[in-house]
Every structure is written in C-alpha cells, then in structure tokens.
Amino acid sequence: MLSILDVAVAYPARQEQLKDLSDDLDLTRDQMRMYDRFFGFEAFQCDPAEPLDTLIAKAASEVLDRNPQQNAHLCCVTHCHTLLNTNVFNGHTSSVLEPYAARGVEVFSATMNHCATGVTMLGVFDRLLGDNETGLILIGEKAFHPALRVIENTTVMGEAAAAILVGRCPGRYEVVDTHTLHAPQFWKNTGLRGENYLAGFDTAYMGFACAGLEGALDRFGRRHGDIRYVMPHNVNVPSWCQIASETGIGRDKVQLSTIGQYGHCFGADPFINLTDTAARGDLDPADQVLLFSIGLGATASCALLRVT
C-alpha cells in the first residue's frame, strides 16, 4: 500500500487583501461583495516577484530535509499544474524539475486533470513505485494574470506550493484507494481568451461534484459516517455547503477554514486543508479522510487516506 510519508506547503510571504484588488482584477462593487460576503474570500498569498521554482523549492526542501533516508531512495518526481505550461520553453526539462533530473531521477509534468491532478497522482504513484522506492509529487503555479486569478462568479486564485513525499514504508497517512470521474464534454481548455469551454459547466457542476464524492464512497466501500473529514478544493464556501447537504456527508466534516486566508490555490488546496487540519491537532490515528478536487476539463478526483 502507498503511504504519504510527509507533506509540506509553502506560500509567498506577500499577502494581498481582497478589498484592495478590485482594480487589479477588474471586479465590480457587486462582485467584490459576492466574493467577500457570500463566497468567503478575505486574503491571498501572492507575489509576482517570486519565481515558481523558488516557491516550489521551499516546500520540496522542507519535506526532503526532514526525510533524508527517503530522499536517498527518490526515483520519480512529478510537477502537477493546471496551465499547460508554467514557463517559457527553453530546454528539455522545466526549472522546477531540472534539479531532480540532474540527480538522475525520473521526472515528468502532469496537467490534464487540471486542479485535480495532484490528487490523481496518488493513484499513479501507487502503480509506479517499487517496494524500496519513494516519489515526490510537487504542486504549484503562479496566478500571474487577472484572467487566471478569477473564474467569473466562482472563485479567486491565490498562490501556494505543496510537496508530497510518497512511498511503501509506513508514513503519516495510508492511501487506501483513489477514484477519478471525468465529464469529457468540458475537455477543451487551451487557455485562449474567449474560448467557451465552460458552457454548461455551471449547471452541471453540482451534480458532477456530488457524483464524484458518492462514486468514490461506493468504490471505497465506505459510508458517510466512516469519514472524519473531507479536505476539499477551495473553490468557494456556498458550493461546498450545498455539496455537503445534497450528499449527506455533513457540513461539519468539510474543512473550509483556509478559504478566507488563501483562496483557491489551484491543485494544492486539498493538501493545504490536510496540513492545516493536522497542525490544529484535529486528526487522530485510524481517522479516515477524503481528499477531493475538481479540475476544469472536467475531472473529479478523490483519495481515501487513513491516519496512522
């Protein structure tokens, strides 16, 4: 069984308040009220001057420095990102992955499940790694343009990086199983402005999210009462309140305390919520938690973890 051996999350030092971003993000007064009072956003960690590889390296160094023995057995590293490319094409390997390629470690990028890619990679690494091998899942990208920072009437993006060290030896969490659901009618998302790839997604979203969660529970052979917490993507508060109500999983089980502080940090959200909940001392051995994220395209990915 695959284990999450350690997790680290890093943020830019620079903080922005939502109330100061109306001009930068071209938000009307009514939109500002919606994102603040209704959707629950307050502040974001975002620094245009900090390169992506520097941000991700902070999280990766933290988790590898804490685990030197597992670092010595590192055989595979992936960078999960939502945008098709996170830097100018200037070589065979991105600046995020180049230090690991230089060590002789196998590296690759993963994008096609968008914000759900990081959760999906837990299942991929379960198939990739041998008994004595460890892998590193890196998640992160820059919210460098207003067109990327706002999904209209839905969410506002912040910046964060997550590093997840995985392997076969006992760790902090056992990865019991993973589940992925696709809605392929929304696949076309090239990033071109004016592309109508979200047509119909607003009305399909709620049913798709609920089907993703309920399908995962069916696959895992679990009931709502078996789950201690859901670690969600930080799209917005009201959508998760509705998902909790419609699935019966319980609003009190959905960890939403980081939305106001960080916003929606692309694929890092479930791991932000996992580390935040663990740091508060709210997880006990044998607790079962769900990591859940939806990426445009559209993919719903879920992983069942058992706290060790």
- For residue range 145-171, what is the model confidence (pLDDT) as tens digits? 888 899 888 999 999 999 999 999 999
Q: Is 213 found in the same domain as 96?
A: no
Last residue of a domain, one of 167, 192, 209: 167
pLDDT(190) > 70: no
Q: Please indicate, yes or no, whether residues 26 and 159 belong to a single structural domain of this protein.
A: yes
| End position of a domain, from candidates 167, 201, 230 | 167
Is the domain of 21 the same as that of 146?
yes
Strand 134-140, strand 106-110: pairing: unpaired
Predicted confidence at residue 305, as pLDDT, reads 98
> Do 145 and 49 sit in the same domain of this protein?
yes
CATH of the domain at 248: 3.40.47.10
**pLDDT value of position 92:** 64
- Token pair of 66 as six digits: 């804490």
Predicted TM-score of the model (pTM): 0.94
Domain final residue, candidates 139, 167, 195: 167
- Per-residue pLDDT tens digits for 91-122: 567 899 999 999 999 999 999 899 999 999 99
Q: Which domain holds residue 101?
A: 3-167
pLDDT of residue 146: 84
Task: Kindly report, residue by residue over 70-83, the tens digit of the pLDDT.
Answer: 999 999 999 999 87
87 has pLDDT over 80: no
User: What is the pLDDT at residue 112?
Assistant: 87
Average pLDDT of the chain to the nearest whole number: 93
pLDDT of residue 255: 97
- Domain co-membership, 151 together with 23: yes
| Cβ atoms within 10 Å, residue 112 | 14
pLDDT band at 193 (very low <50, low <70, confident <90, very high): low
- pLDDT (0 to 100) of residue 91: 58
Q: Are residues 180 and 158 part of one domain?
A: no
- Gap between the Cα atoms of 151 and 219, Å rounded: 31
d(CA 296, CA 143) in angstroms, rounded, equals: 16
Kindly give, in sequence order, each residue whose CB lies less than 8 Å from that of residue 266, ignoring residues fewer than 6 positions away.
81, 82, 115, 139, 140, 141, 143, 157, 160
Give yes or no: residues 161 and 196 share one domain: no
Give yes or no for residue 188 having a pLDDT over 80. no
Residue 13 pLDDT:
96
What's the chain's length in residues?
308
Percent of the chain with pLDDT over 70: 94
| 129 and 242 share one domain | no
Residues 183 and 147 in one domain: no
Q: How many domains does the chain have?
A: 2
